[in-house]
Structure 1
Amino acid sequence: MLFLDLGFNMLKGNLPTELGSLSKLQGLILQVNSLMGNIPLSIGNLSSLQNFGTTRNNFGGTIPETLGQLRNLKMLVLTANKFVGTIPISIFNISALALLDVAENQLEGGLPGDLGFTLPNIEGIDMWQNHLTGPIPESISNTSNLKEIQIDQNNFTGKVPSFSKIRGLYWFNIYLNNLGGEQSTDMDFLCSLTNSTKLELLAIGENAFQGLIPHCISNLSTTLSKFWFVSNNIFGTLPSGIGNLLNLEILEIADNNISGNIPSEIGNLNKLKYLNLGNNELLGQIPESFANLTLLIKLHLDNNNFRGLIPSSLKNCQNLLLLNLSNNNLSGYIPPEIMGLSSLSIYLDLSRNSLTGSLPEEVGKLENLGEIRLNGNRLSQQIPSSIGRCISMERLYVQDNFFEGPLPSIMSSMRGLQVLNVSNNQLSGQIPKFLESLNLTNLSLSYNDFEGVLPTGGVFRSAISTSVIGNKKLCGGLPNFQLPKCYYKESKRTRISGIAKILISTISALVGVACILSLLYFFWFRQNKNASASSSSEDGFLHVSYHNLLKATGGFSSTNLLGMGNFGSVYRGLLDQTQSVVAIKILDLTCEGAPKSFIAECEVLRRIRHRNLVKVLTACSGFDFNGNDFKALVYEFMSNGNLDEWLHPTASQYMERKKLSLLERVNIAIDVACALDYLHHHYEMPIVHCDLKPSNVLLDDEMNGHVGDFGLARFLPEATHKLLVDQSSSVGVKGSFGYVAPEYGTGSAVSTQGDVYSFGVLVLEMFTGKRPIDDMFEDGLDLHRFTKAALADRVEKAIDPILLQEIEELEKRRTIAPEGKNKSWCSIKDCLVLMIEIGITCSFESSNERMDIYDALTKLQGMRKRLLEFIVTV
């Protein structure tokens, strides 16, 4: 046997020491299994071994010193395990070694000073995401065959040596270390990289580099496509020669002290997709040459000193998903062309500038936009009614302006709106009742001129979620708002006039009632006749009509309203046919995409059956009493609501409900993973959910999780032939802001890995208690990076305080010795670490780095077993 490949199986347990007897073995590949324990010392007996790979297992302990005996070894890949300690010095003496990959472990210590002499044939050094320290050896300059160095996310320090002799280098990543600090010579190594004529990626961000930005970056190879320079202490001006790097797709120089104007030559970079110059000291005007950057997807120019007008030439950037010009000194009107960029879908931030005039009517073209920030400007006049067409909007910030008049009634169609802040304007009139029916979690109407009765439904039930202070003409509302009671004064003449109107109305009503009763009897008779004929059919499938559902929900009463989504409302109902409580989803057919959503959900739910999927009982497609199209879906009722309500309860729910325990969260995560595993792997063709989030995870009597809402679901054979390059298709799979996979925003096809990303975010949210759109996540920080940083430091920094409190109570009840308590905390901490690791691995930005949902499920089930063993002993 010359080559043994056991990769991508479900192998468990330890490696047998007998492996060492396979002396003629040249290749041993064990990647992506669940193997554990130490690598046996007998591995050193495989004297012919050339390739050894253990990527993504659970191996632990130290890397065996005996690996250094393998003098023929060319590729050593130990990525993504749990190795600790230092890298054995013997490995650095394997002169044949071409690839050394020990990334994603918990290794520490430094690199040997003679590395460049003992590894003359090395081509790849991958050591990212460990705890390595010390300097990068100067001898590395002698590794003339080096093509790739990835040592990011460690604690390396000191000056970066010269790489001038290494001409074949194409991947250079030293991101997130503590390199630099000598100021005048910190950036010399950049100039040495100008000899690397194949350089594609250069990532030097989040270090301690100081000094002037070197002009030699203009001479870097034109093959360079990704350049990360973020979060250092670099100053000086941006060289005009930056325009020479014609193949740049990503340029990020944010969070430095760069000053001066942006050179117009930046317009030469017509392949740029992501440009981030935020948080610097740049000034002058935004160059008109930005019009040439037609492939831009994300543009950050925030927190600088730009002046003048927003260039209307940005209209050429027809692929923009995100535009951030906040915290500058921009003035003048908002160009209508900017508001006409229908591609914008993540957010548009023009806040904290000096913009004037009205909000252009073209804002209605932003139908796919998730968030808009216009706060802190001098905008005036009325908010245009066209804003009601922004049906995907989840957050709208227009506070601290001079808007006037009433809130447009058409905003009632913005069913996805969760946060609305219009405070500190000059808005007037009554507070619209439709705000009660929106899915708002945070509403600020403060310091305006609203008047009349404060509503009491929806978001107005909570004085924590809603702010109305500074509106002196408001009255009523719930007691917590502490508003004066409403008093109505009527003159004698008004009362007489009112009595006359009542008499006229009463007479008219009596006539009308007679007519209506006749019509209702006709409809009732016809519908009941149809219903009795169709409610039970020979095939045993439950049939329902509009009349049945109207009656079941009490006329679609607001008291039976369970929630509202993008395409309709969900009611609690009692069906006459079965005398059972059900959940009834009524489609709002005026919403674009609702009919397609209905068809998609029917197509998926009629085929699939799984204990962790919401069971659909029947569907109704017909007409209401006015002859309008009517479509509805009837589901099994879930008595414990959805996961979002448990993770982020309102003030009233917080007092009424018990908190989700650690074990309950683990069980729900496993339930969701089981559902996705079935959809992805165990149906006749893969199904992609496309909108996984906590509000679409429903909980039954026993707190079991059920995935629902398949309105955006796709069968994979269809999806793989349908790239998301046009607006109609991208809307269909957009998902929800914060949970949608990043590759969907760049036009990638739908895939099961998109669901895995959403699952990863959901897991992180479940165990941190933080939404992915939490206000704390700004300036490049997101839930993934936040938890990843905490994992490297102290995982408890990121854990939901409710869970930490539960663990403390478990520890108090555990009557064992003090050393046992420490051990028990470690066992729980290991479980928490694993949960966070699963969430992080599933939510990597690159889809290729995410684990399969089956692997996530397997790890979750193993972790639950360990957790149960601990809890049972308490």
Structure 2
Amino acid sequence: MAKPPNSPPPLLLLLLLLLLCPLLLLPLSSADDFAVMTKLASLLSPTPSGWTGTNPCTWTGITCDSTSTHVTSINLASLSLSGSLPSTLNSLSLLQTLTLQRNSLSGPLPSLSNLTSLEQIYLDSNNFTSVPTNFLSGLTNLQTLSMSDNPNLAPWTIPTELTQSSSLSVIYASNANIYGSIPDFFDSFPNLQNLRLSYNNLTGTLPSTLGGSEITNLWLNNQLHGLSGTIEVLSTMTQLSQVWLHANSFTGPVPDLSKCTNLFDLQLRDNQFTGVLPASLMGLSKLANVSLQNNKLQGDCSSCCAGDIGYPISLAQSWLGNDACSEWTFVTCDSRGNVTIVNFGKQRFSGTISPAFVNLTSLKSLYLNDNNLTGSIPDSLTSLPQLQLLDVSNNNLSGVVPVFPSTVKFISVGNLLLGKNITTGSGGSGGNSGSGSNSSTSGGNSNGSSVSAGLIAGVVIAVVVFVGVVSFVSYKCYVKKRHQRFGKT
């Protein structure tokens, strides 16, 4: 075929095509954004005022980039809108702000995945019905996620892909039908200051990565079945100013919050906290609002006995007030109101033996047997002036056995590690291994080594004697029978 006259060379055609490509693509991407906005307008009722014409960049509440080709912001807050959102919303590639709160929007939420420019999401107070699995994937610049008060959402869990949004500073998702545990991922959010997840169905314990975070505002109150475990992690959240944990199932003592110097509001009511309030709580100068009612908190006296065993709920339910002689379980008093017997035997308590028992100067009998107590026996117990009986048998105690007065019956059988220097925590003083285990003495020096050695020697001698007697008797019987049989013959 003959080449057309005056046709441009192939190289020139290629260069012209490369120059025209950006111009060809620009209208296409603009058309994508405009198509999404046109679809959104058709789904809303009533159509927002000012939404006239074919160019969404001129509509009220819509902001575009400098070229007027890409939508960067949608602001439709508080316009009494109903309807739904288009599934293609994540085609708005340069969208930075999505503000739709306080309307009556319904239907499923669209995926916002891979909107890498998106920084602010406000979906609060609507009637959305479901959250897609990839809802928040790839939002690398997200700073605010606010979607509280969407009670019609189908149950959903906190998505772990949020860790891709390391710039998050606000997470508001209260009353949004979230269930399951709180992910332990807060070390991924160095700028997170506000976390509100109240009125959901969250369960489990507080994540350890909350410790050391920058969170100032923490709302986890009123979970349907209740968060559980202790709140010890709060003691390391030094930036806290407001904490709402009420109406849950938290247990254990209220921790030392002395490092939370900005704390002004602490709501802990309607839980199962036990123990004594730390004195440091009253030293927080900014603390103005505190609620503690409907817990199992105890007076100072109870800390003597229950502190090192974690204030078990069985004690907290009856140890009310600060009078140990006021029908406290496991406690017996004399006519003058002095504690004479503490019986914690066979209660499955764990922890260590508190040296503060020494404060019960009228104590005569202390039963700690058949539990899961660890650590050593406090030396201070040897100075109890009225003590007559101490039973620590069948636990997991270790360390040196203190030397009790001859007037004390000391029972310690069933502690295989007692007399061995094993570091397991507080309780009593450790020491060199030198006291035998499984001793049971009545008065005198409680020298575990001598008692155990004597016991072992006695058992060995008894066994030898017994075997000798049995052997001798058996031999005599054998000889006698043999003699009788041959005598008849």
The match for 1:240 is: 87
In the TM superposition, what whole-angstrom CA distance separates every residue of 1:607-658 from its partner, at most 9, and x where no partner exists? xxxxxxxxxxxxxxxxxxxxxxxxxxxxxxxxxxxxxxxxxxxxxxxxxxxx
Partner of 2:116: 270
TM-score between both structures, scaled by the size of structure 1:
0.29
Pick the aligned partner of 2:143 from 297, 302, 307: 297
Q: Residues 360 and 488 (structure 1 numbering): CA distance in 2 closer, same or farther, change over 3 Å? A: farther
Q: 1:490 aligns with which of 329, 332, 338?
A: 338
1:444 maps to which residue? Answer: 291
Q: In structure 2, how many angstroms separate the alpha carbons of the residues matched to 1:298 and 1:308?
A: 19
1:124-151 Cα shifts (integer Å, max 9, x gaps): xxxxxxxxxxxxxxxxxxxxxxxxxxxx
Post-superposition Cα deviations, 1:290-348, rounded to whole Å, max 9, x if no partner, equal 12111111110111133221111111110011000101111111111257523202x10
Q: In structure 2, the residue corresponding to 1:313 is in which secondary structure?
A: helix
- Give the match's secondary structure for 1:412: coil
2:246 aligned residue: 399
Letter in 2 for 1:441: A
> Structure 1 residues 413 and 371 mapped into 2: Cα distance closer, same or farther (>3 Å)?
same
| C-alpha distance 475-490 of structure 1, shift in aligned 2 (>3 A) | closer
C-alpha deviation, 1:202, in angstroms: 4.6
User: What is the aligned partner in structure 2 of residue 315 from structure 1?
Assistant: 163
2:48 maps to a residue whose letter is M
2:217 paired with 1:371: yes
Counterpart of 1:337 in structure 2 is 185
| Residues 501/374 of structure 1: CA separation in 2 closer, same or farther (3 Å cut) | closer
Structure 2 equivalent of residue 358 of structure 1: 205
Asked whether 1:195 is paired with 2:195, we answer no
Q: Secondary structure, in 3 states, of the residue corresponding to 1:328? A: coil
Structure 1 equivalent of residue 367 of structure 2: none
User: Aligned to 1:282, what secondary structure does the other structure show?
Assistant: strand
Structure 1 distance, partners of 2:81, 2:174, is 22
Q: CA deviation at 1:229?
A: 0.4
Q: Out of 73, 98, 114, which is 1:226 matched to?
A: 73
Q: CA deviation at 1:185?
A: 6.1
Deviation at 1:351, TM superposition (A): 0.6
Instruction: Report if aligned partners of 2:206, 2:233 keep a CA contact under 8 Å in 1.
Output: no
Task: Return the offset for 1:390.
Answer: 1.1
Deviations 1:790-825 (CA, angstroms, capped at 9, x unpaired): xxxxxxxxxxxxxxxxxxxxxxxxxxxxxxxxxxxx
Equivalent pair of 1:295/1:319 in contact (CA under 8 Å): yes
Structure 1 counterpart of 2:175: 327
What amino acid maps onto 1:262 in structure 2?
L
**Residue 227 of structure 1 aligns to a residue in which SS?**
strand
Partner amino acid for 2:175? N
Distance 1:471 1:351 in 2: 31
The change in CA–CA distance for 1:373 and 1:440 in structure 2 (over 3 A counts) is: same
Q: Distance in 2 between matches of 1:430 and 1:416?
A: 22
In the alignment, the residues of structure 2 paired with residue 240 and residue 423 of structure 1 have an alpha-carbon distance, to the nearest angstrom, of: 43
Contact preservation (8 Å) 1:359, 1:379:
no
Aligned-pair CA distance for 1:429? 1.1
Q: Return 5+ residue gaps in structure 2 as ranges.
A: 1-43, 302-316, 324-334, 342-359, 365-378, 385-489
CA distance in structure 2 between the partners assigned to 1:488 and 1:292 by the alignment: 71
Describe the SS at the equivalent of 1:270. coil
Matched ranges for 1:371-390 at <5 A = 371-377=217-223, 378-390=225-237
Q: Map 1:97-136 to 2 at 5 A.
A: none
Question: Which of 123, 129, 133 matches 1:283?
Answer: 129
Instruction: Tell me whether 1:428 sits opposite 2:274 in the alignment.
Output: yes
CA distance in 1, matches of 2:322, 2:362: 26
**Alignment map for 1:460-475 (pairs within 5 Å):** 473-475=320-322
CA 1:252–1:446: 2 relative to 1, 3 Å: same
2:269 and 2:141 map into 1 onto residues whose CA distance is: 36
Distance 1:245-1:475 versus aligned 2 partners, 3 A rule: same
- Shift in Å at residue 406 of structure 1? 1.1
Match of 2:441 in 1: none
Letter in 1 for 2:158: I
Q: In the alignment, is residue 413 of structure 1 matched against residue 259 of structure 2?
A: yes
- Corresponding residue for residue 405 of structure 2: none
Closer/same/farther in 2, CA of residues 495 and 453 from structure 1, 3 Å limit:
closer
Asked if 2 retains the 8 angstrom alpha-carbon contact of 1:250 and 1:274, the reply is yes
Secondary structure of the residue aligned to 2:280 is helix
User: Which residue is 2:447 aligned to?
Assistant: none
1:67-82 residue pairs with structure 2 within 5 A?
Answer: none
Per-residue deviation, 1:426: 1.0
Q: Is the 8 A contact 1:321 1:343 kept in 2?
A: yes
Tell me: CA distance 1:353–1:286, structure 2 relative to 1, closer, same or farther (3 Å).
farther
Tell me: CA distance 1:222–1:386, structure 2 relative to 1, closer, same or farther (3 Å).
farther
- State the Cα RMSD in Å: 3.5
Change in Cα spacing, 1:471 to 1:392, as seen in structure 2 (3 Å) is farther
Separation of aligned partners in 1, 2:298 and 2:166: 42
Q: Call closer, same or farther: CA 1:248–1:380 in 2, change over 3 Å.
A: closer
* Matched ranges for 1:595-614 at <5 A: none
Q: Distance in 2 between matches of 1:257 and 1:386?
A: 39
Contact 2:251 2:273 (8 Å CA) reproduced: yes
User: Retained in 2: the 8 A contact 1:450–1:471?
Assistant: no
For 1:185 and 1:496, the matched residues in 2 are separated by 80
The 8 Å contact of residues 448 and 471 in structure 1, kept in 2 or not, is answered as: no
CA shift in 2, pair 1:386/1:258, >3 Å: same
Distance (whole Å) between structure 1 residues aligned to residue 46 and residue 340 of structure 2: 89
Q: Which has the higher helix share?
A: 1
Q: Does residue 348 of structure 1 match 2:195?
A: yes
Q: Give ranges in structure 1 of 5+ residues lacking alignment.
A: 1-182, 206-216, 455-469, 477-486, 506-874
When Rg is computed on C-alpha atoms for both structures, the one with the higher figure is 2
Q: Are residues 1:256 and 2:103 paired?
A: yes
- Structure 1 residues 42-81: aligned runs within 5 Å: none
Among all aligned residue pairs of Structure 1 and Structure 2, give the percentage whose two residues are the same amino acid: 26
SS at match of 1:386: helix
DSSP-derived class of the 1:251 partner: strand
**Structure 2 counterparts to residues 806-845 of structure 1, below 5 A:** none
1:184/1:300 CA distance change after superposition, 3 Å? closer
Find the aligned partners of 2:276 and 2:336 in 1 and give their Cα distance.
Answer: 15
Question: Structure 1 pair 334/184, CA: closer, same or farther in 2 (3 Å)?
Answer: closer
Count of equivalent residues: 277
- Summarize the alignment of residues 84-95 of structure 1 with structure 2, pairs less than 5 Å apart: none
* Paired amino acid for 2:83: G
- Letter of the 2:142 counterpart: L
Whole-angstrom distance in 1 between the partners of 2:47 and 2:149: 25
> Take 2:162 and 2:336, find their aligned partners in 1: how far apart are those partners?
53
Quote how far apart the aligned CAs of 1:502 are: 12
| 1:447-474 deviation per Cα after TM superposition (whole angstroms, max 9, x unaligned) | 11111159xxxxxxxxxxxxxxx99823
Structure 2 CA distance for aligned equivalents of residues 503 and 426 of structure 1: 35
Question: Contact 2:170 / 2:195 at 8 angstroms: preserved in 1?
Answer: yes
| CA distance in 2: counterparts of 1:204 and 1:472, whole angstroms | 63
Q: CA contact under 8 A between 1:222 and 1:246: conserved in structure 2? A: no
Distance change in 2, residues 1:425/1:202 (3 Å): same
Distance 1:489 1:301, change over 3 A: same
SS of 1:318 mapped into structure 2:
coil
Q: Does the Cα contact within 8 Å between 1:358 and 1:379 map onto a contact in 2?
A: no
Counterpart code for 1:303: D
